[in-house]
């Protein structure tokens, strides 16, 4: 708090920035029924939709407009701020944009400000080093991270003039736009791998998945009756590349992971515990906070270039390739470990193939539609992958690794520039000269 005390601006409790009417209110404590998006449905904003100071519109759940009549206190307006009040992301916040006015908030805090504060200024401040430090102290008082309205109101914040707030917000927004552009370029580079690999293998796209009517031979109807399973048609190769099931390309029977409880790392030398929540489609991000397992069993130890397939949940089918530079690790129960025969197929080739539209189409067709999405071990083993010669695989993998490395470099650069922009915001606010 020493740095905060040196600010040229008055330091006040955040509560003094709140609107006299409904300054802070709570979102719903009872999850409403979720419906398919439609012209009459309304977005429902959860803690998981708030990331990086923004509300992510992709993946927003929806509720029926009639349900909204019973949740009026949770209705949010443009310019209000939603602050996560429980769980691992406690303290994350974002301002509601005009496009989401009329949405409803879940189990979080809805904050409305007076004319003395720009909502974007407050949200940006809470994401600075000094803002986060205060939030961490407050949320750490409970067994599980948690923060309430009174605690939020007590956060100390500088009170610069509105014009100065506007200047800081404008500079940060310019940096945010630049970051988004660089991340979009990195995503486009990664997406190009799909087209590249399928083209090299001579794979044509399957028939469209949006058809309402299609025919299935009676002989094809064995275990599955759901339409998506039959709607999918395999990508066809016009280059004569043979296919083989994953079951025929392994050196050991694929295995389910450990069911042990996750625990915080006690030291950097602890064995890491890889769960489906630890990796995205682009691997494990730099700076990720690993955990360990309460019980570590040898049989779950990962070897270099083992591939994990997520078997359950919204991301069923996503994959992760383990490399020894991560350190000793075991894997968790919602993953299935495949260990491939390198004389037949390169693990990196399999990994990159699982990022293609061909694999994603298969995932959509095979995952069970009832309840929680799920793909079991036998179904993963049945997946047919195009298998060119080892020499061709090596060439393709080399190209794709180089592209992936460049995309990651771009992501890292975007992250560093964004961190620098937030640091500038904080220094200007605290009256500190720029560091050399």
Per-residue confidence (pLDDT) for residue 216, from 0 to 100: 56
**Are 192 and 399 contacting, i.e. CB atoms less than 8 angstroms apart?**
no
Same domain, 57 and 116: yes
Same domain, 150 and 6: yes
Q: What is the CATH number of the domain that holds 346?
A: 3.90.220.20
Same domain, 140 and 11: yes
Per-residue confidence (pLDDT) for residue 396, from 0 to 100: 97
pLDDT in tens, 68-95: 788 888 999 999 999 999 988 899 999 9
Same domain, 169 and 208: no
Per-residue confidence (pLDDT) for residue 436, from 0 to 100: 40
Q: Measured between alpha carbons, how far is 355 from 362 in angstroms, rounded to an integer?
A: 11
Tokens in use for 386? 């195009």
Q: What separation in angstroms does the CA of 307 have from each of 351, 366, 380?
A: 7, 19, 12
Same domain, 353 and 254: yes
Q: What separation in angstroms does the CA of 225 have from each of 88, 216, 234, 289?
A: 40, 10, 18, 42
Same domain, 141 and 256: no
The beta strand positions in 112-234, using DSSP E, are: 156-159, 203-204
- Do strands 109-111 and 81-83 pair parallel, antiparallel, or not at all (unpaired)? antiparallel
Is the pTM higher than 0.85? no
Same domain, 220 and 360: yes
The number of domains in the chain is 3
Same domain, 248 and 274: yes
158 phi and psi angles, rounded to 5 deg: -65, 150
Same domain, 89 and 211: no
Which residue stretches of the chain have pLDDT < 70? 142, 205-239, 368-371, 433-436
Q: Measured between alpha carbons, how far is 1 from 342 in angstroms, rounded to an integer?
A: 56
**Residue 283 within any structural domain of the chain:** yes
Helical ranges in 69-161 per DSSP H: 119-126, 129-139, 149-153
**Residue 193 within any structural domain of the chain:** no
User: Domain range spanning residue 402?
Assistant: 161-185+391-436
pLDDT in tens, 346-400: 999 999 999 998 898 889 888 765 557 789 999 999 999 999 999 999 999 999 9
């Amino acid at each position: 708090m020493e740095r905060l005390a040196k600010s040229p601006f008055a330091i006040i409790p955040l509560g003094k920035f709140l609107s006299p009417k409904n300054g802070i209110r709570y979102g719903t404590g009872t999850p409403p029924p979720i419906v398919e998006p439609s012209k009459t449905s309304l977005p429902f904003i959860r803690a998981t939709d708030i990331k990086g100071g923004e509300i992510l519109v992709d993946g927003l759940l929806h509720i029926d407009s009639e349900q909204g009549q019973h949740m009026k206190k949770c209705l949010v307006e443009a310019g209000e701020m939603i602050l996560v009040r429980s769980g691992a992301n406690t303290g994350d916040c974002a301002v509601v944009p005009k496009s989401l006015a009329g949405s409803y908030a879940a189990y979080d805090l809805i904050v409305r400000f007076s004319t003395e504060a720009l909502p974007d200024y407050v949200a940006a401040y809470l994401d600075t080093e000094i803002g986060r430090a205060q939030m961490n102290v407050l949320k750490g008082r409970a067994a599980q991270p948690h923060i309430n309205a009174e605690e939020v109101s007590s956060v100390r914040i500088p009170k610069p003039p509105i014009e100065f707030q506007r200047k800081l917000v404008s500079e940060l927004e310019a940096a945010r736009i630049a970051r988004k552009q660089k991340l979009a370029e990195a995503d486009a580079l990664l997406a190009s791998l799909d087209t590249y690999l399928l083209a090299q293998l001579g794979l044509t796209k399957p028939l469209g998945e949006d058809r309402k009517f299609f025919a299935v031979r009676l002989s094809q109807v064995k275990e599955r009756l759901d339409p998506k399973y039959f709607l999918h048609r395999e990508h066809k190769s016009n280059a004569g590349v043979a296919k083989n099931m994953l079951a025929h390309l392994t050196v050991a029977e694929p295995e389910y992971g450990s069911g042990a409880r996750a625990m915080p790392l006690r030291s950097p030398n602890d064995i890491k515990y890889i769960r489906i929540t630890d990796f995205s489609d682009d691997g494990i991000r730099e700076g990720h906070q690993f955990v360990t397992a309460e019980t570590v069993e040898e049989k779950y130890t990962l070897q270099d270039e083992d591939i994990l397939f997520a078997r359950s949940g919204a991301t069923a089918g996503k994959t992760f390739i383990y490399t020894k530079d991560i350190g000793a690790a075991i894997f968790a129960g919602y993953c299935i470990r495949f260990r491939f025969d390198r004389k037949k197929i390169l693990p990196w080739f399999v990994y990159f193939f699982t990022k293609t539209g061909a694999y994603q189409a298969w995932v959509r067709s095979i995952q069970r539609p009832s309840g929680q999405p799920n793909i079991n071990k036998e179904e993963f083993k049945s997946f047919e992958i195009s298998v060119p010669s080892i020499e061709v695989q090596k060439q393709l993998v080399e190209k794709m690794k180089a592209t992936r490395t460049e995309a990651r470099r771009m992501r890292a650069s975007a992250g560093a520039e964004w961190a620098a922009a937030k640091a500038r915001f904080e220094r200007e606010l605290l009256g500190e000269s720029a560091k050399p």
